[in-house]
Chains A and B, each alone.
Chain A
Amino acid sequence: MTIRFDKLGVVIAAIVAYAAFAAPFATFRANRIVPGEARSILEALPAMLGPLLLAVIVVAAVVALLKTPLILRLAASVVALAALALLIGVAGSFLTPEGNSFARISPASGFWLLIFAFTLLLADVLTRLNLSPWARIGVLVVAAAAIGMLLVSGSWNSLSILKEYANRADSFWAEGSKHVTLALGSLAAAVIAGLPLGILCHRVEKLRAGVLNVLNIIQTIPSIALFGLLIAPLGWVATHVPGAASLGIRGIGTAPAFVALFLYSLLPVVANTVVGLAGVPRAANDAARGMGMTDRQRLFGVEFPLAFPVILTGIRIVLVQNIGLATIAALIGGGGFGVFVFQGVGQTAMDLVLLGAVPTVALAFAAAIILDAVIEMTSTRRPEAQPA
């Protein structure tokens, strides 16, 4: 029997080999800002668990390396990820000296690389399984629930990032909701303004180039510069327009962050609306007019439904982009997860940076999966498409 290798599996196995045997699994620090000391898997885990984890990882890597059935690859990736998730918590409590509340244990590069490698394997398996949109959302919900359960169970509480969280639990949720409000609110505003603008650009050809160019230029302004540029005009509005200040409009804070995110969101929304409407088959449009639809009936009955998947793609871009960009809002007092990132950078406390960065990445990732699924559901309207 010849042994055949999986192409992606070779990459995964190489990453795993380096991460498991050469890179540190966890970092031990005497307090939260001093440089850490590396701990390998065998050093970071109690007697039996270290070799056990290594065994699981090696077996999973071999499964990935060879051409194996999808179901086996799925099992290998899930088991490896679950083992890593559980045992990093164990490493946390194992490495923390008895009664010491200053010591910090954080996952190190080896752990992250292992997570990356097996997530890659899982993502590859899920792509090859060609799951229906509902099934993909289902997988997301299961993954979120598993992570949620680990968080609630307290098995990760000895890890540094959760110690940072424990110190800031209240502000974490406040900043989190501010982050989501900023990202979703500016998206909603951009959709409300961008759709009509896109329709207008589609109908009036003379406007199209001008509007899209202006939005393109806005898109190229670095975000920090845009925040800065907005301070003066919004400050002027706050002092000169009655009632503006009481609405929370000021040169710094949430208002300029909101406006900047809104401006960044406009281009994808407007451009995709224009492209989507332009992609409506000419014959369908002609038939719609020829059969006596009014302009409004044609817009809502034919053009919009047909352009919808493309417009949704624009909205997906904006949502993921906004969740990331909203981090910068903290720079000008706009709040959001960025607050922890910048505090962490200021204190050279990487765990605090992670407390801001990890939820941001997770949110963006989840938003992308959900919207991709929605886009697929709206664009393939096959009656026999089986619900998962």
Chain B
Amino acid sequence: MIEIEGITKRYDATTVVDDVSMVIEPRTIAVIVGTSGSGKTTLLRMINRLVEPTAGVIRLDGADNRSLPGYELRRSIGYAIQGHGLFPHRTVAQNIATVPVLLGWDAARIKRRVDELMTLYQLDPQAFGPRYPHELSGGQQQRVGVARALAAEPNVLLMDEPFGALDPIIRNKAQEDLLAIQKRFGTTIILVTHDMEEAVHMGDKIAVMDAGKLVQYAKPAEILAKPASAFVETLVGASEKPFRLLSLGRVRDAVETGTAEGEAIPGDASQRDALAELLWSGRPALPVKGADGKPLGRVTVDGLVKRAASPA
């Protein structure tokens, strides 16, 4: 659990982060969204003390984050940034091993962990381990960056626009990979982004920052349904709201009894994808199949449209 209490950061006269308090539950993903200059990155960097706060306390599992020297604290917290920040003069394996080496793990344990992470990220350790970062594609570099952040099995992972430099297709894949890995390791993730779509997709909770203040901190559905201010409303994008709401739900939760013609859509797909498919094919209903391929029922345009309406 991460407790942020009354955190403020001032540079001379400018207040960059203004009295922010929030609690991030263990094993969840909290996404901090805001425009540039909203203080979201500074807030993130105060958690691992790359930036020292002017006032306030941050507790990690109950312990003040100032109880350790900064560099020791940072070794226990994963850190991944935009443009990955890989060391160009070190191989992929050496890059991933950075924190374990700092922690003084023995060579066999480091190798095991590096191989495990590379396999997890679909990079063959034999083929990719000895390569240098510039020999990888953008998507591969990003995966190595996240693998490096996870190397020492941290409970907490801080990510600053980790997918910002990726093209849309690779970004989608990277987001899915991160969700899968978060489930597997149960890591608490705090992710900074300016992309509301990414926030809604990834976040268990979303924190919206504006001019240093925390404007709203709530579940994605609530942010979409009841934006706390005009700023949040703009950030969500009024015309996008119904689609974002649908993208939160799975098709299997919208299944109605009955049958329909055509190719079945998997129950895991998002309701937004189902609606898109319905509109595009011009049909009133689609059959739905479970993970085992058995029919579950159908989704209808009418049913989805009701779900996209404002809950208020």
Once bound together, how far apart are the Cα atoms of A287 and B85, in whole Å? 6
A253 within 8 A of B: no
B residues in contact with A291, CB < 8 Å: 74-75, 79, 98-99, 102, 148-149
Residue of A nearest to B76 (CB): A292
Interface code A304-315, partner B: CB below 8 Å = 1, 0 otherwise?
Answer: 011000000000
Interface residues on B, range: 20 to 34
Residue of B nearest to A306 (CB): B89
Q: Which B74-94 residues sit within 8 Å CB-CB of chain A?
A: 74-76, 79, 81-89, 91
Count chain A residues whose beta carbon lies closer than 8 angstroms to a beta carbon of B: 20
B residues in contact with A287, CB < 8 Å: 79, 81, 84-87, 145, 148
Once bound together, how far apart are the Cα atoms of A291 and B81, in whole Å? 11
Q: Of A101-109, A151-159, A278-286, A350-358, which binds chain B? A: A278-286
> Could you tell me the distance in whole angstroms from the C-beta of B218 to the nearest C-beta in chain A?
28
Q: Which of A281, A284, A290, A383 touches B131 (beta carbons < 8 Å)?
A: A383
Q: Which A203-222 residues sit within 8 Å CB-CB of chain B?
A: none
Residue of B nearest to A304 (CB): B89
Given A286-B81, A292-B74, also A281-B88 (CB < 8 A): yes
A7 within 8 A of B: no
Residue of A nearest to B91 (CB): A383
B residues in contact with A289, CB < 8 Å: 50, 74
**Contact A306–B79 (Cβ < 8 Å):** no
A294 within 8 A of B: yes
Most chain B beta-carbon contacts within 10 A, residue among A288, A289, A291, A383: A291
B293 within 8 A of A: no
A residues in contact with B84, CB < 8 Å: 283, 287
> Could you tell me the distance in whole angstroms from the C-beta of B202 to the nearest C-beta in chain A?
20
**Contact B74–A288 (Cβ < 8 Å):** no
**Contact B79–A290 (Cβ < 8 Å):** yes
**Contact A288–B102 (Cβ < 8 Å):** no
**Contact A290–B48 (Cβ < 8 Å):** yes
B284 within 8 A of A: no
A residues in contact with B86, CB < 8 Å: 284, 287
**Contact B131–A293 (Cβ < 8 Å):** no
**Contact A302–B87 (Cβ < 8 Å):** yes
A382 within 8 A of B: yes
> Could you tell me the distance in whole angstroms from the C-beta of A382 to the nearest C-beta in chain B?
7
Q: Which A34-50 residues sit within 8 Å CB-CB of chain B?
A: none
B11 within 8 A of A: no
**Contact A383–B75 (Cβ < 8 Å):** no
Residue of A nearest to B73 (CB): A292
Interface code B81-118, partner A: CB below 8 Å = 1, 0 otherwise?
Answer: 11111111101000000110010000000000000000
Interface code A163-207, partner B: CB below 8 Å = 1, 0 otherwise?
Answer: 000000000000000000000000000000000000000000000
Q: Give me the interface of A with B, judged by CB distance under 8 Å.
A: 281, 283-294, 297, 302, 305-306, 381-383
Those 5 A-B pairs whose CB atoms lie nearest each other, nearest first: A287-B85, A292-B75, A283-B85, A290-B79, A292-B74
